Amino acid sequence: MHIGFLGLGNMGGPMARNLLKAGHSLTVFDPFPQAVAALVEAGARAADSPAAVAKAGVEVIITMLPTADHVKQVYRGKDGLLANIGPGVLLIDSSTIDPLSTREVAKYALAQGNPILDAPVSGGTGGAAAGTLTFMVGGPDSVFDQALPILSAMGKNIVHCGAAGNGQVAKIANNMLLGISMVGVAEAMALGVSLGMDAKVLAGIINTSSGRCWSSEVNNPFPGVLENAPASRGYSGGFGSDLMLKDLGLATEAARHARQPVALGAVAQQLYQTFSLQGNGGLDFSAIINLFRGEA
């Protein structure tokens, strides 16, 4: 299949490579020339704008962009995708953005005869490279079925979440809970250690008791508890605090539109905002524990 791919960053680059490995041909665009050159070396063709991708005779276009503003610009701009593709080309946006923007873009795509899915991912850069991402997909059943073989080349769990925008809803609800649970684990670990507990013993208790969660068990924020966690290598790698801040912002903003209270999500957002302001946005999001240990 001939696929267009826009946004060849930390996630999009390895995702595009997995499509090439699965035997698809790719036409790619990214304003960052080195990102394009790396994909061309791997066998893709380069285009010099979103419009050029749209006009390259592709059957499917995938976007993996930083924010909703980028997505709107790439889809709806003068030199963008929608103004330049023919009807029937399948569009898949895997960027993490707010559900309202997703639904707005979907409305314009559908009005001109282009099926479209939102398909944000979890699994991070490791999952993108290994082709084991989880895709949370919003859009009609028939379009989901059409996209399944393509998404399967980049991911392991492909979950249909319902109508357009629901992929983003699933993603931001999960990540809001992840942010809240990380702050909770950080607070509990810092409290226990400050009152004299050994961090490893405390983590062992939590992980065999009712406080257990992914943040305590797989990505424990206390240094030395888990040898392979970012906390034990200076909080490098992993999922950046600024990306968590972005996702918490999407969740609280979507909640505001829905008049839905997200009290703990808003607290977590403010804590990550404070942490980012202190210059820590590049650290793994488990480093938020330093706010509670007086080390931020």
Whole-angstrom distance, CA of residue 249 vs CA of residue 41: 37
Would you say 213 or 243 has its CB closer to ligand NAD? 243
Would you say 135 or 292 has its CB closer to ligand NAD? 135
Min CB(120)–ligand NAD separation in Å: 6
DSSP assignment of 183-236: HHHHHHHHHHHHTT--HHHHHHHHHTSTT--HHHHTS-SSTTTSTTSGGGGTT-
Would you say 65 or 91 has its CB closer to ligand NAD? 65
- Collapse the DSSP code of 61 into the 3-class scheme (helix H, G, I; strand E, B; otherwise coil) and give the result: strand
Min CB(3)–ligand NAD separation in Å: 14
Q: Catalytic site residues?
A: 171
Min CB(294)–ligand NAD separation in Å: 28
The answer to the question of residue 70 lying near ligand NAD (CB under 6 A) is: yes
Q: Where are the beta strands (DSSP E) in 64-203?
A: 90-93, 116-118, 121-122, 133-138, 155-162
The answer to the question of residue 214 lying near ligand NAD (CB under 6 A) is: no
Choose, by CB under 6 A, the member of 18, 95, 101, 280 that binds ligand NAD: 95
The answer to the question of residue 96 lying near ligand NAD (CB under 6 A) is: yes
Would you say 167 or 192 has its CB closer to ligand NAD? 167
Min CB(42)–ligand NAD separation in Å: 15
Whole-angstrom distance, CA of residue 238 vs CA of residue 254: 26
Encoded amino acid at 86, one letter: G
Q: Give me the residue whose beta carbon is nearest to ligand NAD.
A: 9
Residue 2 β-bridge partners: 25
Residues 61/2, Cβ–Cβ less than 8 Å = no
Site residues for ligand NAD, window 5-44 (CB under 6 A)?
Answer: 6-12, 29-32, 35
Size of the site for ligand NAD (CB under 6 A): 28
Choose, by CB under 6 A, the member of 64, 119, 231, 291 that binds ligand NAD: 64
Residues 81/56, Cβ–Cβ less than 8 Å = no
Min CB(162)–ligand NAD separation in Å: 20
Q: Show the site string, 115-154: x = touches ligand NAD by CB under 6 A, - = not.
A: ------xx-xx-----------------------------
Helix (H) or strand (E) holding 165: none
Q: How much helix, strand and coil, in percent to the nearest 5, is found in the chain?
A: 50, 15, 35
Over its C-alpha atoms, the chain yields an Rg (Å, rounded) of 20
Residues that bind ligand NAD (CB under 6 A): 6-12, 29-32, 35, 50, 64-66, 70, 73-74, 95-96, 121-122, 124-125, 239, 243, 246
